[in-house]
A and B are shown apart, each in its own frame.
Chain A
Amino acid sequence: MRIKEIAQFIDAKVLTCPEKIEGEVKYGFASDLMSDVLTLREDEVMLITGLCNLQTIRTAEMADISVILLVRDKKPNEEMIELAIDNNLIILQTKHSMFRTVGILYKNGLNPVY
């Protein structure tokens, strides 16, 4: 699914790397537990999370995840934004809850990892 479409479905703001939103992701994975995210072997995954700290960005970096979607209007700090830009990571931000976000994206065809 195109990242631009994802942002439209859930009314998300693009906080970093807007030039990359024409790109695509294959899967969505929703978790606040970074160790769980680090078990994924798949590529082209978007992380949907309510965890908003530096470890969210680091985890995405290590797991080759190129898009992070922050739910419930969580606001990343400057350090997170900088680290995300350094790693060419797109951060999306939506006001919706995790449940609603996941429901909308699943209904519109974003694949689950498992």
Chain B
Amino acid sequence: MHFEYNVIEGDFANAGKASSEIKKTMKQLNIDSQKIKRMVVAVYEAEVNAIAHAYGGNIYVDIDSEKISVIIKDTGPGINDIELAMQQGYSTASAKVREMGFGAGMGLPNIKNNVDHLDIKSEIGVGTEIKMVVNFT
């Protein structure tokens, strides 16, 4: 099963729409509720990141009998120091993002805690690609 979604820069009103669709699909497939929660929390955090920090991007979702894999690929400034960005409390978020209830430097660590596999590739001035996998077994 393959799905794609679009993320638009600064479109906070729609932040979470893709995560919501993914959640509905996983529910229809009768996937364990804790695994659904882990995946959609991670996707939601990543979706907020793409809207807040990048110039928009795409979300690619693949589901098979063993796992769900989500790739969020954005066009954007890239992450200067991934190790630093992974540290809890480190944030470059704007005031607007903080008003939304995010921007405390918890997103990437939270993503890491929820998924079974995380891979972040980033190039300065080009963009960031985050791959997240949750295994069903």
Interface residues of A (CB under 8 A from B): 32-36, 38-39, 41, 43, 51, 53-56, 58-59, 61-64, 79
Bound-complex Cα distance A56 to B19 (A): 14
Interface size bucket, B side? Answer: 20 to 34
Digit string of B34-45 for contact with A (CB within 8 Å is 1, else 0)? Answer: 100100110011
Given contacts A34-B102, A36-B106, contact A58 B113 (CB under 8 A): no
Given contacts A38-B44, A38-B45, A39-B110, contact A62 B12 (CB under 8 A): no
Contact check, B37 vs A35: say whether CB atoms are below 8 A apart. no
Bound-complex Cα distance A51 to B100 (A): 8
The listed residue (A32, A62, A79) touching B16 by CB distance below 8 A is A62
Given contacts A34-B100, A39-B113, contact A62 B106 (CB under 8 A): no
Contact check, A63 vs B37: say whether CB atoms are below 8 A apart. yes
Given contacts A35-B45, A38-B41, A63-B41, contact A58 B104 (CB under 8 A): no
B66 to chain A, nearest CB (A): 23
Contact check, B101 vs A61: say whether CB atoms are below 8 A apart. no
Residues of B within 8 A of A63 (CB): 37, 41
Given contacts A35-B110, A61-B23, A63-B41, contact A55 B100 (CB under 8 A): yes
Digit string of B98-133 for contact with A (CB within 8 Å is 1, else 0)? Answer: 011110101100100100000000000000000000
Residues of A within 8 A of B12 (CB): 54-55
Bound-complex Cα distance A75 to B66 (A): 43
Residues of B within 8 A of A64 (CB): 33, 37
Bound-complex Cα distance A79 to B13 (A): 10
